[in-house]
């Protein structure tokens, strides 16, 4: 797994090693991660002895040529993902999310990997006023992050169409759950509120996002690994479409906070208004999300309360800015 020490990738690794996916118990797992600021070996601590860890960059073709041969499945979780960072400086996003995908696809082609999944995002579609996107919706990204992810997706699909590379693409909404780096909105708000600090809210707070627990996202990815068709795109929709105002209220309620702790700040540049995915194509393969938002949020809050030792050093790296 490329990017297997990050938030989503490490969850997938922990689930895979723990036997959460029937028929995959005891498989050999390799994690490739460059351990940038959001990659963390602590995310793999409970399964560290059950995986082979390789520190490296997906842009390193020579390393990929050494690591990939013999692997039956390659999943690409590796990405720069934070919109605010991409607005401040997009260069690393283009390198990892576009060049990195090309390097990985080429290495998979050379190694003859039979199953590849490129993990992507709903943000590649831009903003939708009403309804939900299907997988054939045109790409119209608005942020440098989203544009870089769209570029990587197009590279992957080009390899599928030109070379017959057996790659599938998944696109998902906003994830939440344990081990999420505290620059993202839910852990950012939770950790600041737990310390009695203020939290920043962009603009009018009416931007809508589709929220999915990371366990459901990973279960959707596994469905695509097992039953997805090469060259196809699959949406993994969440269980709650919420405005940022509604999300903030949920988070305040979860920690006993009040709106006095919310600081209104100027809106993000190019801030997409609403995302929404139709997941009928994936549901036809037998997938359905299992974690209701209320239950998943309660579990997430409990985890951050119990794991201050994990998030407190990370939060010290961050500026007090809102995140999406």
Q: Which residues are catalytic?
A: 122-123, 145
8 is in an annotated binding site: yes
Residue 185 labeled ligand binder = yes
- Nearest Cα to 307, choosing from 295, 299, 317? 299
96 is in an annotated binding site: yes
Which helix (H) or strand (E) is 217 found in, with range? helix 214-227
Residue 202 annotated in ligand binding: yes
Annotation-wise, does 192 bind a ligand?
Answer: no
Residue 43, annotated as binding a ligand? no
Check whether 81 is labelled as a binding-site residue.
yes
58 annotated to bind ligand? yes
Give yes or no for a contact between 155 and 103, defined as CB atoms under 8 angstroms apart: no
User: Is 18 labeled as ligand-binding?
Assistant: no
User: Is 7 annotated as contributing to ligand binding?
Assistant: yes
What is the pairing mode between strands 240-243 and 208-213?
Answer: antiparallel
Helices and strands of the chain, counted as H and E runs:
12, 11
Confirm whether residue 268 is marked as ligand binding.
yes
- 114 annotated to a ligand binding site: no
| Separation CA 88–CA 83 (nearest Å) | 9
For residues 181 and 317, give the distance between their C-alpha atoms in angstroms, rounded to a whole number.
11
Q: Is 160 helix (H, G, I), strand (E, B) or coil?
A: helix
Q: What is the CA radius of gyration of the chain?
A: 19
Query: Which class for 158: exposed (0-12), middle (13-18), buried (19 or more C-beta within 10 A)?
Result: middle
Q: Nearest 10 degrees: CA dihedral of 109, 111, 113, 114?
A: 80
Residue 106 to residue 63: CA distance in whole angstroms: 12
- Is 244 labelled a binding residue? yes
- Detail the residues annotated as belonging to a binding site: 7-8, 33, 36, 57-58, 79, 81, 96, 149, 174-175, 185, 200, 202, 209, 244, 268
- Detail the residues annotated as belonging to a binding site for dTDP: 174, 185, 200, 202, 209, 244, 268
- Detail the residues annotated as belonging to a binding site for NAD(+): 7-8, 33, 36, 57-58, 79, 81, 96, 149, 175
């Amino acid at each position: 797994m490329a990017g297997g020490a990050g938030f989503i990738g490490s969850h997938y690794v922990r689930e895979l090693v723990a036997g959460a996916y029937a028929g995959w118990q005891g498989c050999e797992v390799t994690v490739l991660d460059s351990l940038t600021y959001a990659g963390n070996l602590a995310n793999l601590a409970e399964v560290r002895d059950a995986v082979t860890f390789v520190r490296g960059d997906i842009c390193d073709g020579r390393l990929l040529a050494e690591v990939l041969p013999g692997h039956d499945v390659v999943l690409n979780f590796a990405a720069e993902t934070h919109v605010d960072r991409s607005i401040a400086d997009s260069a690393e996003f283009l390198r990892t999310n576009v060049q990195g995908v090309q390097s990985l696809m080429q290495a998979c082609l050379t190694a003859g990997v039979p199953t590849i999944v490129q993990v992507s995002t709903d943000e590649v579609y831009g903003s939708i006023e009403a309804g939900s996107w299907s997988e054939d919706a045109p790409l119209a990204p608005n942020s440098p992050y989203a544009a870089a992810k769209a570029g990587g997706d197009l590279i992957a699909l080009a390899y599928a169409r030109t070379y017959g590379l057996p790659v599938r693409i998944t696109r998902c909404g906003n994830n939440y759950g344990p081990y999420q780096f505290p620059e993202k909105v839910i852990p950012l708000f939770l950790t600041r509120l737990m310390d009695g600090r203020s939290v920043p809210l962009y603009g009018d707070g009416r931007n809508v996002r589709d929220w999915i627990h990371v366990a459901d996202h990973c279960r959707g990815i596994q469905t695509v690994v097992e039953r997805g068709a090469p060259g196809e795109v699959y949406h993994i929709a969440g269980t709650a479409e919420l405005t940022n105002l509604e999300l903030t209220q949920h988070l305040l309620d979860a920690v006993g906070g009040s709106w006095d702790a919310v600081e209104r700040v100027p809106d993000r540049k190019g801030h997409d208004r609403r995302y929404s995915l139709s997941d009928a194509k994936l549901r036809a393969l037998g997938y359905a999300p299992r974690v209701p938002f209320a239950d998943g949020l309660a579990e997430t809050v409990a985890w951050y309360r119990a794991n201050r030792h994990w998030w407190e050093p990370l939060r010290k790296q961050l500026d007090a800015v809102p995140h999406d």
